[in-house]
Amino acid sequence: RVVAVIMVGGPTKGTRFRPLSLNIPKPLFPLAGQPMVHHPISACKKIPNLAQIYLIGFYEEREFAIYVSSISNELRIPVRYLKEDKPHGSAGGLYNFRDLLMEDSPSHIFLLNCDVCCSFPLPEMLEAHRRYGGMGTILVSKVSAETASEFGELVADPETNELLHYTEKPETFVSDRINCGVYVFTPDIFNAIQGVSTQRKDRANLRRVSSFEALQPVNRSLPTDFVRLDQDILTPLAGKKQLYTYETMDFWEQIKTPGMSLKCSGLYLAQYSSTSPHLLASGDGSKTATISGDVYIHPSAKVHPTAKIGPNVSISANARIGAGARLISCIILDDVEIKENAVVIHAIVGWKSSIGRWSRVQGVGDYNTKLGITILGNVFVILIFLSVTARESVAVEDEVVVINSIVLPNKTLNVSVQEEILL
Ligand code: GDD
């Protein structure tokens, strides 16, 4: 039997994703109409002999309760949320629940980061892992040499695929092959994590009784039960015939910023055409809007037949899209109203916002721009949020143009703005 674990982190992680995570935990932010974590979860369904899926994080249980119970019913596989009392790191979090995870006596454990977007070739990884016969197999992708340093860089044996060298986010270039944050392990991984933790305890004890501290300043501040999968496990085990790599040629992206959520929403929409074509709007018939490219429209959303939607558009529950509206490359969240003839391009329109008639909301469309107060000129998406309690607030009044800006909750824009962050 096999179990799958998805690391979802907690409220102190994922800060670059703000303000999209102000209302909702980042793993539940919708991409292609489904919560971010839904994509790895539904990929797990393809794993043969899968017994359980666990989400491990330090968000409050209630934040995941509804999603976890509905997805368990839908997939007919038990999905459970396990809450850590504090962050234990990506490997420590797994170790923390080892007894529970071992209840099904799994022969293999999948471990997935929730903030990666890919085709999750899990059955293929498992097959390769069995062939290699090691303790763990890492999903690997080739990226451009310029971006590699944002990830764990690694070197593998071209013949055997053994992991020979691993460095987490190195300052000088090592390799354009990177760690995708998707792994399969045998239960021996728990011994490896325990080893790191024991070693730390021994060092701490030694420091207490000697002046050893001066010799071992590294990691002094890390608690003994805080273990990182990359630095503490992968780096020391590389080259020891225990870890292997499986390279994917499909798409792979990391979802750290709001701009990347829009790009990944598009990648998942494109994937639907082969995996879940029923989720894509077809635009057939005279009573439906004109659809171009991949578009998701929630069944409760109301889209006027004269609106033109797509490509890469995802429209969430109870949104209303007026006559003549034009939407390109955007995520429209729950209860949004886009009025007649408004145009929304490269934008994320937050919960309960309203965009006035003939107004235009547009970002430049550079997905890699990091949103931030300090780089105002490069800001990419428009984020328009109204507080969840606001009933009739208007985010953008009629005939207003909003370019490359971020608009936070409870704002009404009655003049046009460009390159602004409105708090
Ligand atoms: N439950 C829990 N507890 N989850 C955690 C914790 C923790 O204490 N710390 C991190 N995570 C989760 C995050 O939510 C994320 O899904 C995953 O573990 C990895 O997060 P980080 O350790 O912050 O690493 P990263 O995302 O910057 O980079 C990792 O992933 C990249 C691929 O996306 C590294 O493994 C890189 O090498 C890799 O390229």
Choose the residue to mutate in 113, 230, 256 for probing ligand 1, maximizing ligand atoms within 8 Å of C-beta.
113
Q: What is the pLDDT of residue 281?
A: 94
Q: Is the pLDDT of residue 367 over 60?
A: no
Q: What percent of the chain has pLDDT above 70? A: 87
Measured in Å, residue 60 CA sits from the centre of ligand 1 at 18
In this structure, the residues whose C-beta lies within 6 A of any atom of ligand 1 are 7-9, 13, 56-58, 84, 87-90, 93, 113-116, 151-152, 168, 178-181, 230, 254
* Closest residue to atom 2 of ligand 1, CA basis: 9
**Has residue 88 got a pLDDT over 90?**
yes
Q: Of the candidates 19, 417, 14, which has an alpha carbon nearest to the alpha carbon of residue 254?
A: 14
Calculate how far, in angstroms, residue 90's C-alpha sits from the geometric centre of ligand 1. Answer: 6
Residue of 8, 13, 176 best suited for mutating to test ligand 1, as the one with most atoms within 8 Å of CB: 13
Mean pLDDT for 402-413 is 72
CB 421 within 8 A of CB 379: yes
Distant-in-sequence, close-in-space partners of 405: CB < 8 Å, separation ≥ 6: 379, 382, 417, 418, 419, 420, 421, 422
Looking at the predicted structure, is the pLDDT value of residue 363 above 80?
no
CA 115 to ligand 1 centroid distance, Å: 8
- Global pTM value: 0.90
Report how far residue 65's alpha carbon sits from residue 81's, in angstroms, rounded to the nearest whole number. 8
pLDDT tens column, 259-310: 888 899 999 999 999 999 999 998 776 678 999 999 999 999 999 999 999 9
Q: Residue 150 CA: which ligand 1 atom is closest?
A: 39
| Number of neighbouring beta carbons within 10 Å of residue 23 | 17
Give the whole-angstrom CA distance, residue 362 versus residue 207.
57
Q: Is the pLDDT of residue 157 over 90?
A: yes
140 vs 257, higher pLDDT: 140
The pLDDT score that the predictor gives to residue 356 is: 87
- For residues 8-19, average pLDDT: 85
Judge whether 180 and 138 are in contact, CB under 8 Å: yes
User: Looking at residue 376, what is its pLDDT?
Assistant: 31
Residue recorded with tokens 């085990």: 237
pLDDT band at 140 (very low <50, low <70, confident <90, very high): very high
Which amino acid, one-letter code, is at 210?
Answer: S
Q: From ligand 1's centre to the CA of 232, what distance in Å?
A: 13
Q: How far is the CA of 339 from the centre of ligand 1 (A)?
A: 40
Q: Looking at residue 389, what is its pLDDT? A: 39
pLDDT of residue 377: 30
Residue 17, number of CB atoms within 10 A of its CB: 22
Give SS3 for 36: coil
The reported pLDDT for the residue numbered 210 is 66
Range scoring the smallest mean pLDDT among 21-25, 73-77, 250-254, 372-376: 372-376
Task: Calculate how far, in angstroms, residue 10's C-alpha sits from the geometric centre of ligand 1.
Answer: 11
Q: Provide the pLDDT for residue 260.
A: 87
* Helices 189-209 + 89-96 axis angle, to 10: 110
Task: Identify the band that residue 379 occupies on the pLDDT scale cut at 50, 70 and 90.
Answer: very low
Ligand 1 atom closest to Cα of residue 13:
14
Which protein residue has the closest C-alpha to ligand 1 atom 24?
Answer: 90
Residue with CA closest to ligand 1 atom 29: 181
Quick one: pLDDT at residue 220?
Answer: 56
Average pLDDT, the chain: 87
CB 379 within 8 A of CB 339: no
- Ligand 1 centroid distance, CA of 388 (Å): 30
Q: Given a cut of 70, is residue 49 above it in pLDDT?
A: yes
Give yes or no for residue 119 having a pLDDT over 70: yes
Confidence of residue 314 (pLDDT cuts 50, 70, 90): very high
Atom of ligand 1 nearest to the CA of 256: 26
Burial of residue 397, with CB atoms counted within 10 A of its CB: 0-12 exposed, 13-18 middle, 19 or more buried: middle
What residue's CA is closest to ligand 1, atom 22? 90
- Number of other residues whose CB lies within 10 A of the CB of residue 408: 17
Query: Which of 8-12, 55-59, 184-188 is predicted least confidently?
Result: 8-12
